[in-house]
């Protein structure tokens, strides 16, 4: 398999982002690694930008070579391409265990599984939920993200451990009495905010408590986790506002 067999259009090659092209090249890398055998183990960038590999792309060979170089750099940075133990410091590379696994998957699906940047997640779910997601444990990652919302809401609202699930959300964000409700906005907005939290917990946390949920779509899981991150930031904002209100009405403020 060569790149031109995989992606015949030079414009398409150059239009792909490095991670997108890199993932599509993983099966080629795996095949090259197997073919090399014991005589020339591993893979090298030079094999992929040789004239034989890019011939057929017409006058865009240099642009294709640049795209390939960028695509090669991405799996190196993602620990998908690692130094060969026998040729340390050399240009010879090996595919990591994860790279070999990804090389057997649909590249579009594999790419979607990497679209959850760690740095954009809320701190309370940044480590464990992100790690679960990237181990393809999507249902568990979603459940833990929603559980983090439940814990954050209960703590911020000062409610008891007996307040759980949708009832907890309804109590914390009740449009008239909720401790986390923003009374400065219209009632319709307060009701909508309450419904948002109730709906999220009811849709994505509660089902996991009652049955096995087979969530195997990485895109859907990423979207739900991002929703959880957004809700957690809302809780942070309401908690800060509540604390600010308490301090401004305390003895010092009165004096």
**Domain containing 41: what range?**
3-105
- Which helix or strand (DSSP H or E) is residue 95 part of? strand 93-95
* Domain count along the chain: 2
Q: CA dist 90 to 31, 42, 47, 78, 94, Å?
A: 20, 11, 14, 19, 11
* 125 plus 148 within the same structural domain: yes
More confident residue, 211 or 205: 205
User: What's the pLDDT score for residue 112?
Assistant: 60
Q: What is the pLDDT of residues 108-129, one digit of tens each?
A: 666 665 667 788 899 999 989 9
User: What is d(CA 207, CA 67) in angstroms, rounded to the nearest whole number?
Assistant: 44
Looking at 54, 79, 105, the residue that finishes a domain is 105
Looking at 46, 81, 105, the residue that finishes a domain is 105
- As a whole-number percent, the residues of the chain with pLDDT over 70 amount to 83
Helices H / strands E in the chain, number of each = 15, 2
**Weakest mean pLDDT among 24-28, 106-110, 146-150, 227-231:** 106-110
Give the CA angle between residues 215, 226, 18 to the nearest 5°. Answer: 90
Q: What is the pLDDT of residues 31-62, one digit of tens each?
A: 877 765 544 556 788 878 887 777 778 788 88
* 215 plus 157 within the same structural domain: yes
Whether 90 is covered by a domain: the verdict is: yes
Evaluate whether 217 touches 162 at the Cβ level (below 8 Å): no
Q: Which alpha helices (DSSP H) does 49-137 contain, by range? A: 51-54, 61-77, 97-102, 107-112, 128-134
- Over 90: is that where the pLDDT of 181 sits? yes
* 85 plus 184 within the same structural domain: no
pTM, two decimal places: 0.64
**Weakest mean pLDDT among 55-59, 168-172, 208-212:** 208-212
* 126 plus 100 within the same structural domain: no
Whether 113 is covered by a domain: the verdict is: no
């Amino acid at each position: 398999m060569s790149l031109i067999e995989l992606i015949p259009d030079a414009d398409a090659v150059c239009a792909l982002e490095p991670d997108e092209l890199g993932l599509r090249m993983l099966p080629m890398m795996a095949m090259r690694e197997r073919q090399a055998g014991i005589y020339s183990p591993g893979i090298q960038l030079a094999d992929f930008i040789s004239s034989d590999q890019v011939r057929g792309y017409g006058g865009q060979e240099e642009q294709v070579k640049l795209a390939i170089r960028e695509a090669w750099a991405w799996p190196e940075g993602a620990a998908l391409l690692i130094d060969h133990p026998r040729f340390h410091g050399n240009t010879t590379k090996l595919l990591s265990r994860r790279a070999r696994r990804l090389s057997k998957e649909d590249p579009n699906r594999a790419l979607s599984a990497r679209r959850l940047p760690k740095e954009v997640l809320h701190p309370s779910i940044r480590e464990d939920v992100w790690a679960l997601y990237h181990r393809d444990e999507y249902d568990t990652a979603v459940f833990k993200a929603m559980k983090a919302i439940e814990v954050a809401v209960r703590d911020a609202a000062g409610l008891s451990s007996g307040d759980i699930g949708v009832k907890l959300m309804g109590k914390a964000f009740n449009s008239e009495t909720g401790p986390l409700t923003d009374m400065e906005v219209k009632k319709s907005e307060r009701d909508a905010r309450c419904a948002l939290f109730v709906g999220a917990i009811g849709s994505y946390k509660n089902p996991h408590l009652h049955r096995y949920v087979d969530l195997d779509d990485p895109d859907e899981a990423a979207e739900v986790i991002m929703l959880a991150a957004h809700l957690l930031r809302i809780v942070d904002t309401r908690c800060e506002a509540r604390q600010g209100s308490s301090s401004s009405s305390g003895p010092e403020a009165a004096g």
